[in-house]
Amino acid sequence: MSPEEMKNNKIQEFTVDALSKYPGKVAKKRSKSILTNNPEAALEIQANVRTIPGIITQRGCTYAGCKGVVLGPTRDVLNLTHGPIGCGYYSWLTRRNQTRPETDESANFITYSFSTDMQDENIVFGGEKKLKQAIIEAYEIFKPHSIAVFSTCPVGLIGDDVHQVCAEAEKELGINIFGFSCEGYRGVSQSAGHHIANNKIFTDVVGINDEPKPGKYTVNLLGEYNIGGDAFEIEELFEEMGITLTSTFSGNSSIYDMERAHTADLNMVMCHRSINYIAEMMEKKYGTPWIKVNFIGAESTAKSLMKIADYFDDEEIIAKTKAIIEREMPKVKAVVDEVKKTTRGKRAMLFVGGSRAHHYQDLFNEMEMEIVAAGYEFAHRDDYEGRKVLPDIKVDADSRNIEELTVTADPERYDASKQEKKVKKEAEGYLFENYEGMMPEMKKGTVVIDDISHWESEKLIEHFKPAVFCAGIKEKYAIQKMGVPLKQLHSYDYGGPYAAFDGAINFYKDIERIVGTKIWSMIKAPWENEPELVGEVYTEMQ
């Protein structure tokens, strides 16, 4: 039997084993979200559908996607959670978003947790009055430039009109105050929250300030959240190239810069799932073209930098970019060549939200590790199969909970010259608004699973015995109790940065330490070493 046949048999064994314990209807549904990858075939994966109750998903909620992901990393907007304290507290600093205020006096509210702390009486009699009081109190203490209000589940259930309250407070205080109907149940996952956040930032923030950031060539970086300092690494490269970064959505970001994001020459999308909406809307309204980039992995970083330089057709920037790559790649190669002595041939699995389960495969491939399985928590089909499938995706009832904005060209601020340049570059073969998706870039015979359950994770580990499992905090300790190290790629544990060239080196070294230690194989769960306790319960009948 050939190695490929053995691998196919193992995948089939895993699939049968994982699905066999589910009830019939559940197994039928889950089978559509578990595929054996084949880049040569037009495989269709089931994604962005409701999680089956009781399956123990790793997903987050709509509120988490809106407040925690998109707005949370922005330092100078005061993010106020309207709801009981639990949601506001749980979403406070959990992703290790970092920021660098421009001066010591610059506003930075990331270290604060703001909440209306709704109590029982507010649930019964309504919380609008308390929300208004909270907004005024926050303004009197902190004097923020903007306030964003986020609805949690009880708010939607009792019918508080956060948008009306925000409008009244804005008129009274004279600052930009906007609300998000991002109740946790509003979508099937945090992806709905991303979409809701994109819509409101587009309508209430982008376009407020028409003064461009000084610079010959200006760009926005969309979908980079500065986990562990990633954005700092990327920003330094842009500065050395001679590119001006107008705004990032949302790592190390400022609400002031978001307001003038529409003045940039080019949008670059890193996390396709969380931010592609605003990229498309900015192009329709202001004419700003967008491209897909990836700064995870040394090779991908080099390609993305050259793609940016090629867009601007400036010999000086192209020369500077080539010099950066020629300087950095030998450093990276020296480290990865050493690391490969430990990592070569070891197996990895990645089940992370956004584009991380895709992007981080580049780093593992550079270490010559084998990706045996990967998937997203909250992706749509286009994240797996590429944007070419967008016309085929049917809008279901859950997706209709999210407002679809009708966007037209701004009669005064639409810049036709940006589109003229796009047409010229396309004629040269340059790719815009293009994303091939994860599955076409994964090897044949790998396992792809959307919205993986705890049970399926256990079965994967049992059948494939990976050297490292990459996921989030909810899975971390359950996986490690199975004797497999888990590397968090939502918050990086306490590591990072992992973006760009220096970030790649950091990642190589961290993974080498993880897969090179024998401690994980020595871990035994208590029930493996101790006798099983058996008891009986008797009920005396009267």
> What single string gives the DSSP state of each residue in 363-394?
HHHHTT-EEEEEE-SS--HHHHH-GGGGGGPP
CB-CB contact of 389 with 381 (8 Å): yes
Number of Cβ within a 10 Å radius of residue 406: 6
Query: CA torsion 26→31→33→34, rounded to 10°?
Result: 130
Please indicate whether residue 526 or residue 187 has the higher confidence score (pLDDT). Answer: 187
Pull the structure tokens for residue 338.
């050493």
Alpha-carbon Rg for the chain, nearest whole angstrom, is 24
Residues 6+ apart with CB under 8 A from 455: 18, 21, 55, 56
pLDDT mean over 76-82: 97
Q: Can you tell me which residue has the tokens 């089978």?
A: 31
Among 95, 358, 359, 380, the active-site one is 95
Among 82, 186, 194, 358, the active-site one is 194
Rounded Cα gap, residues 390 and 47, in angstroms: 13
Q: Are strands 447-449 and 34-36 parallel, antiparallel or unpaired?
A: antiparallel
In tens, the pLDDT along 509-524 reads 999 999 999 887 787 7
Q: Can you name the CATH fold of 62-186?
A: Rossmann fold (3.40.50)
In tens, the pLDDT along 279-298 reads 999 999 999 999 999 999 99
Q: Is the pLDDT of residue 136 over 70?
A: yes
194 is catalytic: yes
In tens, the pLDDT along 337-371 reads 999 999 999 999 999 987 999 999 999 999 999 99
Rounded Cα gap, residues 137 and 143, in angstroms: 10
In tens, the pLDDT along 140-184 reads 999 999 999 999 999 999 999 999 999 999 999 999 999 999 999
Pull the structure tokens for residue 130.
């308390």
Among 18, 47, 59, 64, the active-site one is 64
Q: Can you tell me which residue has the tokens 């609008």?
A: 128
Q: Is the pLDDT of residue 275 over 70?
A: yes
Among 18, 61, 471, 504, the active-site one is 61
64 is catalytic: yes
Tell me which amino acid residue 248 is. T
pLDDT classification of 537: cutoffs 50, 70, 90: low
Q: Is the pLDDT of residue 28 over 80?
A: yes
Closest CA to 377 of 454, 486, 464, 465: 454
Tell me which amino acid residue 300 is. S
422-446 CB burial, b ≥16 within 10 A, e <16: beebeeeebebbebebbbeebeebb
pLDDT classification of 434: cutoffs 50, 70, 90: very high
- pLDDT of 4: 73
Q: DSSP secondary-structure letter at 104? A: T
Q: Domains of the chain: which residue ranges?
A: 62-186
